[in-house]
A = this chain, B = another copy of it.
Amino acid sequence: MPSTSVRRSAGQISGEDIVVEAAWLYYHDGLNQNEIANRLDVSRATVVNYLQEARERGFINITLASEPFTNHRLAGELCARFDLRAAYVLPDGGGSEREQFERVARGAANWLPSLLEAQDRLGVAWGKTIHDMAEHIEPVSIADLEVIQLVGSMATPYGFSAEICSANVARKLGANCVNLHAPAVLSTSEIAATLRKEAIIAAQLEAIEHCNKALFAVGSCNHDSHIVTSGLASHDDLDWYVAQGAAGVVCGRFIDTHGDPVRGPLDERMIGIDQTALRGKTMGVLVSVGRDKANAMLAALRGGYATHLVTSQSSARRLLDTRP
């Protein structure tokens, strides 16, 4: 009676097959590792290995439903106060601001796919928030999705510049990516104007105008915030805009505490979506968290740039504690 070996390399069963079988028995049929070990006639330790392999290979998807987060009490209040269609509030979990940032990025990554549908054209801004979010998106494929870079590229080589953000989001969502092949800011408004008329750039700006959804973060108006460190604005630029009442930055554009555009010399030299166009999208997803972002978030929310918000509990409380 020659017993057929179950060793992975032997037998008629191909290598990964037994791994899948173990995963199925465990996650779908609800057997425990002992029962699986008996059925497959291997040791329980081996079953542990199979299951680990299955997880590593991404055979198992564990996702958290979005409802409990959006239904969160704070989410409801945020929607009411800032006229949002939905908000996604992540628990603080008692961790540091660093951890909270991470969690919000993951939360946004978790939520985003369910906000998109086939044929959407999603504009993507830039920044550490957007970049980290993109990292955490579980790859899915959304039919005929187009991802469009909303802001020109950064002069300084930067880990989370606009083209990298949009490319990563597109990659994770299996989408086509329209990059904006121009610097975010040019030395003179004339050069910017010329560039805007270039056929290639014009087509890309056209794509920006016609995207229906937007994903963006906000920047604060400090001298150490990304708007300066990325080389988009000089310290003088920043001072000038702050003097005019700037309270925050969306897609590289300055806005005041009411969210209204603060226009100035830099604007003419920039290539990318402007405040008016951003406000016109049918969906605007704002991802932001942190004490330092509070004012800028408030400005962006008041300005009506966002229809959807992802943030943390403590940030949500800060927003709600401010007088309207």
> When the two chains form the complex, which single residue of B20, B65, B143 contacts A68, counting CB atoms closer than 8 Å?
B20
Pairwise interchain contact B65-A61, C-beta atoms closer than 8 A: yes
Complex: A25 Cα to B59 Cα, angstroms: 22
Complex: A20 Cα to B74 Cα, angstroms: 13
Pairwise interchain contact A90-B60, C-beta atoms closer than 8 A: no
> When the two chains form the complex, which single residue of B16, B68, B103 contacts A59, counting CB atoms closer than 8 Å?
B68
A214 interface residue per 8 A CB criterion: no
Copies of chain A in the complex: 2
> Could you mark each residue 2-40 of chain A with 1 if its beta carbon is under 8 Å from any beta carbon of chain B, else 0?
000000000000101101110111011100000000011
> Could you mark each residue 38-69 of chain A with 1 if its beta carbon is under 8 Å from any beta carbon of chain B, else 0?
01100000000000000001111111110111
> Distance in Å from the Cβ of A103 to the closest Cβ of chain B?
7
A72 interface residue per 8 A CB criterion: yes
> Distance in Å from the Cβ of A94 to the closest Cβ of chain B?
5
State the interface size on chain A (CB cutoff 8 A).
39
Pairwise interchain contact A61-B64, C-beta atoms closer than 8 A: yes
A303 interface residue per 8 A CB criterion: no
Q: Which residues of B contact A72 (CB under 8 A)?
A: 14, 17, 20
Complex: A67 Cα to B139 Cα, angstroms: 13
A117 interface residue per 8 A CB criterion: yes
> Distance in Å from the Cβ of A80 to the closest Cβ of chain B?
15
Pairwise interchain contact B58-A65, C-beta atoms closer than 8 A: yes
Question: Could you show 21 A-B contacts with beta carbons less than 8 Å apart?
Answer: A14-B73, A16-B68, A20-B64, A21-B93, A23-B64, A24-B64, A24-B90, A24-B93, A24-B103, A25-B93, A29-B103, A39-B94, A57-B68, A58-B65, A59-B67, A60-B62, A60-B64, A60-B65, A61-B62, A61-B65, A118-B118
